[in-house]
Amino acid sequence: MFKGHPKGLYALALANTGERFGYYTMLAVFALFLRANFGLDAGVAGAIYSTFLGLVYFMPLIGGIMADKFGFGKMVTIGITIMFAGYLLLSLPLGGDTLAMIAMLGALLFISIGTGLFKGNLQVMVGNLYDDPKYADKRDSAFSLFYMAINIGALFAPTAAVEIKNWAENSLGFSGNDAYHFSFAVACAALIVSMAIYYIFRPTFRHVEGGKRQAAAVAAEKELSPAETKQRVIALCLVFAVVIFFWMAFHQNGLTLTYFADEFTAKSSEGIQSMVFSVWNLVLIIIGVYALFSVFQSEGRKAKAVSAAVVVAVVGYLAYKASMVGDASVAVSAPIFQQFNPFYVVALTPVSLAIFGALAKKGKEPSAPRKIAYGMLVAAAGFAVIALGSMGLNTPDAQAAIVAEGGEGTLVSANWLISTYLVLTFAELLLSPMGISFVSKVAPPKLKGMMMGGWFVATAIGNALVAVGGFLWGGISLTIVWSVFIILCLLSALFMFAMMKRLESATK
C-alpha cells in the first residue's frame, strides 16, 4: 500500500495533516460558538458558517492562478503565514459585541485567503510528483493516501476541540464562550508544526514547487491542441458541476447533522456503544486494521508475525475494555460525532485501495468519473439512513419548545448518526480523492493551478449552499429536510452517468 511512492508524497501529506488538524478543530465547534457567543439563530449562524466554507474553497482559484505564474511553493509559504494570522486573531477572547464580530469576520477572511494559497497548490504539487512516468500508475492510490493523511488530522480534531474547551472552562475558570477560543488556538500550534515539516523535508519535493524552472519544463512539453484543451476543460467543468451538490450535502456534517446531534440524539451512551466515543479506542481499531492488512501484504515472515501479534493484542485489549464497561455511561456532546467521518476514512482507505487494486489487476477498475457517479448514489443512501432514523421525531421548532419548558423531546440512539457517517464516508472515498486525482491528470499542463482551483470553487459553491440546510431547520419535518439532499444526490448521479462517455474520453 505504501510502497513505490516518492518520498515527497509523505512530506506533503504530513504538512497537510497538521494544517487540517487545526482547521477541523476550529470547525468542530465553530457553528456552536456562533450561536453561544453572539446569540445567533440557526439560520444566521448557518449563513456565516457556509459563507466561510465557501470562501475557504473559492480562494484556491485565485491561489492557483497566482501559482501558475509565480510557483506553487511560494504560494504555499505565503498561505501558511496568512492563515496563522487569522487563527491567532480568532483565538483572542474579545467578547460578543460588534467589535468582536468584526474581528471574528476579519479572522475568517485571513484564514480563507491563506487556505486558498495553501490547500490547492499543495495538492497540485502532489499531482506533479506523479507526472513522472515511473509513478504515473500510482496517482489514484497516492491521492487516497494523501486524503487519508488529511483525515488523520481531522480524526483527533473534535476530541481536541471539546477537551481543550472543557479544560479552559473547568480548570482555568473561563466562561463557556471564552473557552471556545482555546479550541481555536490549537490551529496556531498546528500550523507551526506544518511549517516545520514542510521546510525540513522540502528537498524531497522542491523539484515540483513550480516557478521559472518548472515553467520552462512545461513550455518544452508537447502542447495540447486548442480542441484537446477545450475537451479537457469541459470534462473538468462537468465534474465540478456534480461535486457542487455532493459538498452541499456532505458538509451538513458541520451544520444540520451537528444540530441533529445536539437536539435529537441521546445525551449519553452506555455499555459497549460508549467505547466508540473515545478517540483512543478508534485509534486502536485503526492500528488493528492496518496490522491485519500488513499480515497479508508483508513479504517477510518476521513482519507477518509482528503484524499478527499486533492484531491479537488490539483485539484482546478492546475485548478486555468491553468486559469492564458494565453499565457505565459517558456524556455525548454534539461536536464529538465529527470524529467518525475521519475515523472511517483512515480505517477504510486500505480496504478501498485493496478493492480497486484487485479490480485493476483484472482490468476492471472503474474510471475516476464512474467512481464519482457511484459516490453520489452512495451519498443518497447515507441521507436515507438518517431520514429513516428521523421518522416520528418532532420538528426542530417543536423540539426547542419542549426543551424550553424543561422536557426532553424526542431523542434517538447515537447509532443513527454513526451509521450515517459510515455510509457518507464510503461516498467520500469514491468521490473526493478520485476527483482530485482526475483533475491533476486531466488538467492542461499550463492550467493545473487554475483547474485545481476550479475543483475548489465547485466545493465552495457547494459549501455556500450548505446554508440551505440551516434555513430548512425549523418547522419542517426532518424527513423532508433529509429528502432534499437525497434527491439532489440522485439527480447528480444520473447526470454523471449521462455524461460518462464524454468524461472518460478526456482521460485517454
Q: How far is CA 325 from CA 276, 287, 313, 318, 498, in A?
A: 12, 21, 18, 11, 52
Q: Could you say which DSSP state residue 265 is in?
A: B
Most confident of the following: 34-38, 282-286, 296-300 = 282-286
CA distance 191 to 435: 26
Q: What is the mean pLDDT of residues 457-484?
A: 90
Residue pair 294/307 in contact (Cβ under 8 Å)? The answer is: yes
Look at residue 220 in the predicted model and tell me its pLDDT: 46
pLDDT at 221: 53
What is the rounded average pLDDT of the residues 305-315? 94
Q: At what angle do helices 448-464 and 226-250 cross, to 10 degrees?
A: 30
Whole-model pTM over 0.85: no
- For 417-452, write each residue's pLDDT tens digit: 999 999 999 999 999 888 888 888 888 888 888 888
Cβ count near 300 (within 10 Å): 8
User: For a pLDDT cut of 70, what percent of the chain falls above it?
Assistant: 97
Decide if pLDDT at 212 tops 80.
no
Nearest to 18 by CA among 209, 165, 162, 156: 156
Which amino acid is it at 446?
K
* pLDDT at residue 367 greater than cutoff 80: yes
3-class state of residue 91 by DSSP: coil
Judge whether residue 227 has pLDDT over 60. Answer: yes
For 279-288, what is each residue's pLDDT tens digit?
889 999 999 9
Asked whether residue 406 carries a pLDDT value surpassing 60, the answer given is yes
Question: Does 334 have pLDDT greater than 50?
Answer: yes
Give CB contacts under 8 A, 24+ apart, made by 402-408.
Answer: 403/263
Query: pLDDT tens-digit profile of 97-130?
Result: 889 999 999 999 999 999 999 988 898 899 888 8
C-alpha cell of residue 163: 477537551
Q: Give the 3-state secondary structure of residue 171.
A: coil
Rounded CA gap, 306 and 291, in Å?
Answer: 9
Are 264 and 402 within 8 A, CB to CB? no
